[in-house]
Chain A
Amino acid sequence: MAERIAQQQYGCMRLVNMKFRSLRVVKQSGLLVSNLAFGVLWFTWVGVLLSLGIGSLLMIYGIPVLALTVRSGRVIGAIDRRRLQLFADVALEPPAHKQMPSGVFPWLRAALSDKVGWKGLAYGVVMLPWSVLTFAVVVVLWALGVGAVTAPLYDWALPNGVMSFDSFTPSGWEHVGVLAALVVVGAGVLLALPMIVNFLTTTHIGLSRSLLSVGQTELLERKVGDLNRSRNASAAAAETERRRIERDLHDGTQQRLTGIAIDLGIARERLSEVGDEQARVLIDRAQEGVKEAIAELRDLVRGIHPAILTDRGLEAAISSLAVRTSIDVEVSSDLKRRLEPTVESAAYFAVAEALTNVMKHGGATTATVTIRDLGETLEVEIRDNGVGGASVLPGGGLEGMQARLNGVGGRLDVVSPDGGPTHVKVTLPCALS
């Protein structure tokens, strides 16, 4: 909807392009002329408050005054960003809102160390000379242009019909020539005016952008932060979903099947008392089938999300995995804490995939899994004594592992020369940023 309105607005602008341009000169001039009022206001504001604050630093109220002054730098920024939007249709990205801590001293410290506030104050100071310049240039140019172009009108309106410049009073053709020259000069000034005003406005926007807005780097950082957050959110959502499926299967289907198996067991006991051999064989078969289904379901659930990972964490889950692997796997770990579910899960499934690869292709007889808690990051290494030659191929298991790790900001390094051994290293951030 908003897009359509914007399109319509754009269409209108094209239709009234000329009108828009002249409107732009007027608006930009308004900005540059109003600069003076705000320049004087800001300079006074900053000058008075700052000197009050610094001057009374030795007094008890000096620091609070200074802190409030710095806070007011943000207000200056907010007002002038708004002014810029009004006059120049430029919406500057406002700096990040600062979360102020509670408590007097933390608050003061935070206020005084607020870069955005200080930049706002700097802007207030710089604005004075700059606004004088923009005001002077714009007013002089407008006056000159309009004045010169309308000189014939002025001339015609004079009571004695002749205008004079001090001692020189043109007459006859001279008079006409002077008027024509004035009109030409005025027209030239008016034609040049939009460009000059636009140039000054652009400079003013640049000044505001550097002092009242966020830098390109910060803007990118902000974007990266947003992307990280949304990526982590989707990883967490997938993780929650996996756990829900695991729980449903565990507490629903599996329980039900176990109940059936038990009932069949009881039925079998009763039948053996009666002595119906045929029925007993049938029930035996049914019971075996149910038990196999339960075992298969258990493996499936373990593949979706192993319960021990939730209960006891990464080391326990990987040890359990190692026990279930057909080759000798030695697990060592210095991880003593629980990590985010998505991180634990990503690390677990990376190891599971790596061990599956070791069994399938590596020709290995032993493997080691080393879990290292490096504070900010978690490092998991899987080494085997196999023949090597593993690589990240499209559609392969390692690629799937890489994708899953990338989903939580992790990395996969595979070193597997022909002839072996294979060394897989998984690096993950411990906390999601």
Chain B
Amino acid sequence: VRVVLAEDSVLLREGIVRLLAEFGHEVVEALGSANLLLEAVIKYEPDLTIVDVRMPPSFTDEGLRAALQIRRQLPAASVLVLSQYVEERYAQELIASGSQGVGYLLKERVADVREFVEAVERVASGGSAFDPEVIRHVISRSRGLSGVSSLTPRELDVLALIAEGRSNGAIAKAMFVSDGAVEKHITSIFMKLGLAPNDAEHRRVMAVLAFLRDS
């Protein structure tokens, strides 16, 4: 995977570059601010852009704004947003900017090296990766919905993992069950929520998120 990275902290920038290199991914450009990011993305056409939310000059949300701008101008580009804190609002803005190849994770998830690299690969190939913390909030807010309230605790866990963007295999591994068991859970969840069964993993995520957000 070829990556363009924008992160103002030298420490983290080098850490991420090192980490991705370890797993055979290449960071073709590493920037310290967001203002030249779009140009770099246009120039290098990377498989994935990783961007920090807070960056100079104003240290607010310029990274997120840059990410949204990239998604607007280059709808096919995949973007993974990292942040010290996660806000559901920002996740919604990212989802609304297009449904392909989008991720939003807490920075410290980078430390769970394997899962992070998995997320990088997933988003780069058009999938999604949303932070468990965001998903937890989304789900807890929709707990009162008729569909969600009828889910078993186990199914709620699976729902959360689907919403995070994980594949069946990854869900099975995370829950220490077989792929078949996961599939059974997923079928049951989709039935209870009244969603059409969907084999494409990415569209499945979006369907779940849309359901949780809108209803």
List A contacts of B22 (CB < 8 A). 266, 269
User: Is there an interface contact between B19 and A262, defined as CB atoms closer than 8 Å?
Assistant: yes
Segment among A77-85, A210-218, A316-324, A340-348 that sits at the interface with chain B: A316-324
B112 within 8 A of A: yes
A263–B113 CA distance with the chains assembled, in angstroms: 9
User: Is there an interface contact between A268 and B113, defined as CB atoms closer than 8 Å?
Assistant: yes
A258 within 8 A of B: yes
- Contact code string A308-322 (vs B, CB < 8 Å = 1, else 0): 101110001001100
A171–B112 CA distance with the chains assembled, in angstroms: 128
Contact A255 to B108, CB < 8 A, known contacts A268-B113, A307-B54, A320-B89:
no
List B contacts of A262 (CB < 8 A). 12, 15-16, 19, 110-111, 113
User: Which listed residue (A258, A324, A328) contacts B108, Cβ 8 A?
Assistant: A258
List A contacts of B116 (CB < 8 A). 265
Contact A255 to B88, CB < 8 A, known contacts A247-B59, A266-B113:
no
User: Is there an interface contact between A255 and B12, defined as CB atoms closer than 8 Å?
Assistant: yes
A293–B59 CA distance with the chains assembled, in angstroms: 22
User: Which listed residue (B11, B89, B114, B140) contacts A269, Cβ 8 A?
Assistant: B114
Q: Which of A192-245 contact B (CB under 8 A)?
A: none
B173 within 8 A of A: no
Smallest CB gap from B9: residue in A: A255
Contact A264 to B144, CB < 8 A, known contacts A259-B12, A302-B85, A307-B85:
no
Closest chain-B Cβ to A318's Cβ sits at a distance in Å of: 11
User: Is there an interface contact between A320 and B88, defined as CB atoms closer than 8 Å?
Assistant: yes
Interface of A is mostly: helix
Residue among B8, B59, B107, B108 facing the most chain A CB atoms (10 A cut-off): B108
User: Is there an interface contact between B137 and A323, defined as CB atoms closer than 8 Å?
Assistant: yes
Closest chain-A Cβ to B208's Cβ sits at a distance in Å of: 17
- Contact code string A288-307 (vs B, CB < 8 Å = 1, else 0): 00110011001001100001
Contact A294 to B108, CB < 8 A, known contacts A262-B12, A269-B22, A307-B54:
yes
A261–B111 CA distance with the chains assembled, in angstroms: 5
A338 within 8 A of B: no
User: Is there an interface contact between A320 and B110, defined as CB atoms closer than 8 Å?
Assistant: no
A251 within 8 A of B: yes
A316–B19 CA distance with the chains assembled, in angstroms: 34
A295–B136 CA distance with the chains assembled, in angstroms: 15
List B contacts of A320 (CB < 8 A). 87-89
A370 within 8 A of B: no
Closest chain-B Cβ to A341's Cβ sits at a distance in Å of: 12
List B contacts of A261 (CB < 8 A). 108, 110-111
A265–B61 CA distance with the chains assembled, in angstroms: 27
Smallest CB gap from B110: residue in A: A262
A175 within 8 A of B: no
Q: Which of B113-161 contact A (CB under 8 A)?
A: 113-114, 116, 137, 140-141, 144
Smallest CB gap from A261: residue in B: B111
A323–B88 CA distance with the chains assembled, in angstroms: 8
User: Is there an interface contact between A258 and B89, defined as CB atoms closer than 8 Å?
Assistant: no
B198 within 8 A of A: no
User: Is there an interface contact between A287 and B59, defined as CB atoms closer than 8 Å?
Assistant: no
List B contacts of A290 (CB < 8 A). 108, 111
User: Which listed residue (B18, B89, B114) contacts A308, Cβ 8 A?
Assistant: B89
Contact A265 to B112, CB < 8 A, known contacts A250-B54, A258-B12:
yes
User: Is there an interface contact between B108 and A291, defined as CB atoms closer than 8 Å?
Assistant: yes
A285 within 8 A of B: no
Contact A265 to B89, CB < 8 A, known contacts A250-B54, A259-B11:
no
A21 within 8 A of B: no
Contact A324 to B137, CB < 8 A, known contacts A251-B54, A262-B19:
yes
Smallest CB gap from B22: residue in A: A266
Contact A311 to B111, CB < 8 A, known contacts A259-B9, A262-B12, A319-B89:
no
A256 within 8 A of B: yes
Residue among B15, B19, B114, B144 facing the most chain A CB atoms (10 A cut-off): B15
A311–B89 CA distance with the chains assembled, in angstroms: 11
A323–B15 CA distance with the chains assembled, in angstroms: 32
Sample of 29 A–B contacts (CB below 8 Å): A247-B59, A251-B8, A251-B9, A255-B9, A255-B84, A257-B108, A258-B107, A259-B15, A261-B108, A261-B110, A262-B12, A262-B113, A263-B15, A265-B111, A265-B112, A265-B116, A269-B113, A291-B111, A295-B108, A298-B84, A302-B85, A308-B89, A311-B60, A312-B87, A312-B89, A316-B89, A320-B87, A320-B88, A328-B141
In addition to A251-B9, A255-B84, 16 A-B residue pairs with Cβ atoms within 8 Å of each other are A251-B54, A257-B108, A258-B108, A262-B110, A290-B111, A291-B111, A295-B108, A298-B85, A307-B60, A308-B87, A308-B89, A310-B60, A311-B61, A316-B89, A320-B89, A328-B144
